Each structure stands twice: as structure tokens, then as C-alpha cells.
Amino acid sequence: MPTGAVFVNVGHPVVIITTNISGVLTIEVDGATWVPKEETDEPNKHLFRVGDFVKVVRGEYKERKGEYGKVVAVGYGSVGVEFARYSSNGQSLSDKVKGGHGWWFKPSSLSHELPN
């Protein structure tokens, strides 16, 4: 179990709550991981889960701003998003997606949105 983890045994589901060195909270329920929204986020950005469709709305990665993608990983204050378009600056997100099609974002850089 990671340092700073709290294991809550309530039968089913299994809940694990962790924080990293920066104090970022991560909640895992039966293998699904959520990162709570940041204080500055709009109300529709509560939590990101694997499988959510998102739009890049701000952040330091202007190359991806305005693009839609699918959440493939969540944890420790970062959200891993897979995009259809290849980028030479993209990543594989720990081999979760094809190289060059993934990108890590802060939750505040994303909005829950479906592509048009």
C-alpha cells in the first residue's frame, strides 16, 4: 500500500484513499480511480474516470488545446488522455496507448465534453 494511504474496509466496494507528497488526493473504488476537482474548476469537473470523454480547455500544452480525447489513466493529480491524432511530443502513458497519442494533464486543463 502506498505511503499516505488509508484503506477503508466496508465490505464491498473496496475503497483506498491516497495522497502524494504534494497533498493531491486520489480515491480508488474497486479499481476505478478518481481525482477530486480543483478549487478553481467549474462545477461540471468534479471527477475524471477512465473512459470519460474530455476536451482540453487550458494548460501549458497549447498544441492539444481544443482537442477531444478519452481518459485512459487517472492518478496522483494527473489525467492521462488518449488522442486520435499523433504528436511527436505525445507519450504512451505507461504503454496504455500507442506512442505519440497520449498526454498527461492536470484536471484543471480538462472539461467533460463529447466530440461534436
The CATH number covering residue 49 comes to: 2.30.30
Distance of alpha carbon 66 from alpha carbon 56, whole angstroms: 5
Residue 1 belongs to a domain: no
What distance in Å separates the CA atoms of residue 20 and residue 43, rounded to the nearest whole number?
24
State the pLDDT at residue 102: 93
Name the DSSP letter for residue 96. T
One-letter amino acid identity for 32? A
Q: Which of 39, 15, 9 minimizes the C-alpha distance to 27?
A: 15
Per-residue pLDDT of the chain in tens (116 residues, 90 and over written 9): 444 544 445 555 666 666 666 566 666 666 666 665 554 444 434 588 889 999 999 876 678 888 999 999 887 778 999 999 999 989 898 888 999 999 998 888 898 887 76
Containing domain of residue 40, as a range? 6-112
One-letter amino acid of 25: L
Number of domains in the chain: 1
**pTM of whole model > 0.85?**
no
